[in-house]
Amino acid sequence: MENLEELKKILSYPKEIVITSHRNPDGDAIGSTLAMYFYLQTLGHTVWMVIPSEYPDFLEWMPGIQDIIVYDIKQERSKELVERADVVFCLDFNALDRIDKLGEMLNQQTRAKIVMIDHHLDPEPFAHFVMSEPDASSTCEMIYDFLGLIGHLDKMDLTIAESIMTGILTDTGSFKYGTSPKLYRVVADLVEFGVNDYELQDLIFNSLKEKHLRLLGHCLNNRMEILEEYNTGIITLTKDDYVKFSISRGDTEGIVNHLLKVRNVKMAVFITEQPTIVKISLRSKGDFSVQEIAQKHFKGGGHRNASGGLSFQSLDDTVKKFKELLPRYQAALMNE
């Protein structure tokens, strides 16, 4: 991070600080937010967590999560806190449109110093302090690194360590992707600190409701299509599916990854019909980059093996558009 010494000075005496993360937060967004929240409190700061939309149910067990303020629910309170903040930490996103109205507020906020910590490609230049590492497994891994850079790993307690581990576990899919030797050294340190990784995995991945399994069964039995000529799998969900299965935020988490369990499937696509847009989630194996597809064709982005985007066309037209793109990538998808 450039200007690290300047940031150290800013954080050396009490401030009012807001931490925010992206809309539809996942385990990495919430884990990094909570880890930073508890860390900054140890320095004597007044800290608020403000995120655009609600977090998924499977994270409700996390200590401190009840202190998160959701913009969609408390707009005036969110605005008040952002306007009076001395410092704003932006975690797990690198473009202001990822936080919707909160991004517009930050654009107009001339008082606060903005700190961005993120692992996605191509960050926008909106922050005063930037820590960007696309090779990191997760923003939570970067929070661990940040504590080391700033010389405060001694401030880490078990709650902070568990928050960091939660983001690592969810963003790597239990160490199935985005791993590195360095990541495992970080994880070893967290386990040595006292994190019970078995217990965390149980809390994160074994807390499904009955409707989640029924929805997964529906997706695999009725909505899955395997395109063998492109080593690609597609699952779609309609608005009617959302009503039938009472789908709420976080209920579809991880469904796309099941397609990658099919032999020879190199790219997995999950296309869902939302109230005003069609959302696209892309995953891949090996060196095939879905980030390019998301960025070039669906107003999105992300990582090489995990990206997302959106479409303002109908569900059927979006699926058609996606399939029409596949011949361009056939050689790479079929390359063993």
Q: Which of 174, 205, 236 is the last residue of a domain?
A: 205
Same domain, 144 and 245: no
Cβ atoms of residues 137 and 180 within 8 Å:
yes
- pLDDT higher than 80, residue 249: no
Max CA-CA distance within the chain? 60
Angle at 167 between CA 162 and CA 168, to 5 degrees: 95
* Cα–Cα–Cα angle for 31, 37, 40, rounded to 5 degrees: 135
Q: Answer yes or no: do 81 and 159 share one domain.
A: yes
Bridge partners of 30, per DSSP, are none
* Residues 299, 235 share a domain: yes
Domain boundary residue, one of 205, 230, 252: 205
For residue 234, give the nearest of 242, 226, 245 by alpha carbon. 226
**What φ, ψ does residue 38 adopt, rounded to 5°?**
-70, -35
Give residue 265's pLDDT: 96
CA–CA distance, 182 with 179 (Å, rounded to integer): 8
E strand or H helix at 21:
strand 16-21
Contacts of 276 (CB under 8 A, 6+ apart): none
Averaged over 215-225, what is the pLDDT? 97
What confidence category does residue 246 fall into, taking pLDDT thresholds of 50, 70 and 90?
very high
Range of the domain at 309: 210-334
pLDDT band at 176 (very low <50, low <70, confident <90, very high): confident
Residue 336 confidence (pLDDT): 59
Claim to verify: residue 84 and residue 105 sit in the same structural domain = yes
Co-location of 70 and 168 in the same domain? yes
pLDDT tens-digit readout, 252-311: 988 999 999 999 999 999 999 999 999 999 999 988 999 999 999 998 888 888 889 999
Task: For residue 295, count CB atoms less than 10 angstroms from its CB and return exposed for 0-12, middle for 13-18, buried for 19 or more.
Answer: middle
Asked whether the predicted pLDDT for residue 162 surpasses 80, the reply is: yes
Count of the separate structural domains present in the chain: 2
- Whether 44 and 79 share a structural domain: yes
Task: Report pLDDT for 185.
Answer: 98
Residues 131 and 54 grouped into a single domain: yes
Mean per-residue pLDDT, 52-81: 95
User: Is residue 110 predicted with pLDDT exceeding 80?
Assistant: no
CA–CA gap between residue 61 and residue 39 (Å, rounded)? 19
Flag whether pLDDT at 177 surpasses 90: no
Task: Verify that 148 and 232 share a domain, yes or no.
Answer: no
Provide the whole-model pTM.
0.90
SS3 readout for 151-213: CCHHHCCHHHHHHHHHHHHHHCCCCCCCCCHHHHHHHHHHHHHCCCHHHHHHHHHCCCCHHHH
Which residues lie across from 91 on neighbouring strands? 21, 117
Q: Which of 205, 224, 246 is the last residue of a domain?
A: 205
Domain match, 215 and 156 both: no
Do 90 and 177 sit in the same domain of this protein?
yes
DSSP category for residue 262:
S
Residue 60 and residue 32 share a domain: yes
Domain of 248, CATH number, reads: 3.10.310.30
Assess whether 186 and 216 both reside in one domain. no
